[in-house]
Amino acid sequence: MASTGETQGPPAGPALGVQAAPSPPGRSRCTLSSRAPPTHTRPRLPARSATSRQGPPAGLPGRTPEGPRWGGAGWLSRCLPAGASRWRTRSEMTSILRSPQALQLTLALIKPDAVAHPLILEAVHQQILSNKFLIVRMRELLWRKEECQKFYQEHEGRFFYQRLVEFMASGPIRAYILARKDAIQLWRTLMGPTRVFRARHVAPDSIRGSFGLTDTRNTTHGSDSVVSASREIAAFFPDFSEQRWYEEEEPQLRCGPVRYSPEGGIHCAAGPGGPGPA
Ligand code: RTP
Ligand code: MG
């Protein structure tokens, strides 16, 4: 595990487009880079792109008929520089939240083959930390067969389905909610190819290339899309609200400073008013 009380800055470096700035007590240290023009000169917003129609980019839950409800002004006002105008409309706030700078969530699992070996389990955990993922939640559990069947429903009928379900229910697993810019793709890259033989050849340093045993016992799982991530996070962390996390925790984790707690194995905001995990 990393050292006690280790703190780190924003997880994806300067590309996040937010600047840490000194701020008065009680106010978050993050600032949005531009000040809006006065209302009467506000430019017309461009037509929504195909990308924006897809909804929130970072694993946000589905939109409600009246539009996303996760753009509450609470966190935004905390992120505005002192004295900044607060005239932004709901759609402008939405576009900020949909910004590619936002942290994205993914579900990562460490499968029974790795959890059974404390050194491998720890090595995978360290890979998560050294690749600058933020650990938002973590839990260990034993999965019931029916839950595995439901989780892997998309593979039902395929030749490996039965052995996959049996294997995933065969011992403890560890589940993480990870956050990072482009978390879904980056975690899958870090895992390496599904098939271990291939992983060893094309990505020998990947997690599966390093620790995978067989195509079934391949060490880790990662969500493959924003929609899957939301569904899978809800399956493992039913009390976790993505909407609330994006409103309350994401801005603070993104803007830093962030503290890693080795005891709990998770990160939380270290700045004033850091909410910590709910
Ligand atoms: P995952 O869902 O675990 O992140 O893996 P993935 O997207 O890379 O692969 P996917 O096609 O979704 O398969 C899910 C899991 O099924 C097992 N599998 N075995 N040829 C085989 O024997 C085979 N193919 C897939 C693996 O455990 C894989 O991770
Ligand atoms: Mg998959």
Query: Digits of tens for pLDDT over the chain (278 positions)?
Result: 333 345 555 454 333 322 333 333 333 333 323 333 333 333 343 343 333 333 333 333 333 333 333 333 343 344 333 433 444 455 544 554 556 689 999 999 999 999 999 999 999 999 999 999 999 999 999 999 999 999 999 999 999 999 999 999 999 999 999 999 999 999 999 999 999 999 999 999 999 999 999 999 999 999 999 999 999 999 999 999 999 999 999 999 999 899 999 999 999 998 765 555 54
Q: Can you tell me which atom of ligand 1 is nearest the CA of 154?
A: 12
Which active-site residues does the annotation give? Answer: 221
CA nearest ligand 1 atom 8, residue: 194
CB 170 less than 6 A from any atom of ligand 1: no
Tell me the β-bridge partners of 20. Answer: 30
CA angle at 138 for the pair 273 and 200, rounded to the nearest 5°: 130
In 3-state terms, what secondary structure has residue 138? strand
CB 221 less than 6 A from any atom of ligand 1: yes
The ligand placed nearest to the CA atom of residue 192 is 1
CA dihedral 184, 232, 8, 188 (to 10 degrees): -30
